[in-house]
Amino acid sequence: MDPKGVRVLSQRFFIYMFLPGIPWIRYHGTYKTLNINLIWAGKDPASGVDSIGTIPSALATYAAIQALEPDLIINAGTAGGFKAKGASIGDVFIVSDCAFHDRRIPIPVLDIYEVGVPQAFETPNLTRELNLKAVVIAYVANLMKVPTIFVKFVTNIVDAGKPILEEFLQNLVALTITLDLAIKQVIHFINGKYLFEL
């Protein structure tokens, strides 16, 4: 329990609910009136490192929606920020827009996959900012009609001239505490509300 008395997962256990050999793990618990399922993509069986990136994100999102039929998805993670846009290391954003930003499809009809902008769930009562990550989760959730909120914290400044990976790794562990607190605040805010109240 944190100093404000927010306990996000009252029952901390994991259940393998996916097919054998799939590394994804489900943690389940409750917070007041909320049933919370945390899906971790686990370790990649081929490399032994955390399963990150667009493919594990899209597949885990699809499988979790199929298995759990959630009312809402909250995706939490890291993001690079732009100093020119006023971002600083440690800033936490509630994302309102997502965009494909690394696709190269030179076919006009398919350009939606190059610069597509799936919408995050509108949360006018939470702070909203533009983010360029988590677009595959927004895409899958939009296809399956599940509202999604993205909570991202800035681990590196893209336009600062520092090596991105070095700055990311330097800040990741310390800033995880910041993200943890932000997620607890979001969950506390959501509890007892209808989607239209967010």
HEC sequence for 100-144:
CCCCCCCCHHHCHHHHCCCECCCCCCCCCEECCCCHHHHHHHHHC
Q: Is residue 7 part of a domain?
A: no
User: Which pLDDT value is given to residue 91?
Assistant: 92
Query: What's the predicted TM-score (pTM) here?
Result: 0.77
Q: Is residue 171 part of a domain?
A: yes
Q: Is residue 2 part of a domain?
A: no
Distance of CA 44 to CAs 24, 25, 153, Å? Answer: 9, 12, 24
What CA–CA distance (Å, rounded) separates 68 from 39?
11
User: Which pLDDT value is given to residue 133?
Assistant: 47
Q: Which domain holds residue 150?
A: 13-197
Q: What is the CATH number of the domain that holds 133?
A: 3.40.50.1580
Percent of the chain with pLDDT over 70: 74
Higher-confidence position of 102 and 181: 181
Compute φ and ψ for 51, nearest 5 degrees.
-80, 105
Report how many domains make up the chain. Answer: 1
**How does pLDDT run across 28-39, given as a tens digit for each residue?**
889 999 999 999
Q: Is residue 4 part of a domain?
A: no
Q: Is residue 1 part of a domain?
A: no
By DSSP bridging, strand 25-31 and strand 34-40 are: antiparallel
Q: Is residue 132 part of a domain?
A: yes
Q: Is residue 148 part of a domain?
A: yes
User: Which pLDDT value is given to residue 129?
Assistant: 36
Is residue 79 within 8 A of residue 131, CB to CB? The reply is yes
Tokens of 198: 């967010």
User: Which pLDDT value is given to residue 122?
Assistant: 60
Q: Is residue 141 part of a domain?
A: yes
The residue-averaged pLDDT of 73-96 equals: 89
> Using 50, 70 and 90 to split pLDDT, how confident is the model at 7?
very low
**How does pLDDT run across 120-164, given as a tens digit for each residue?**
556 554 443 334 447 788 889 989 999 999 898 999 998 888 888
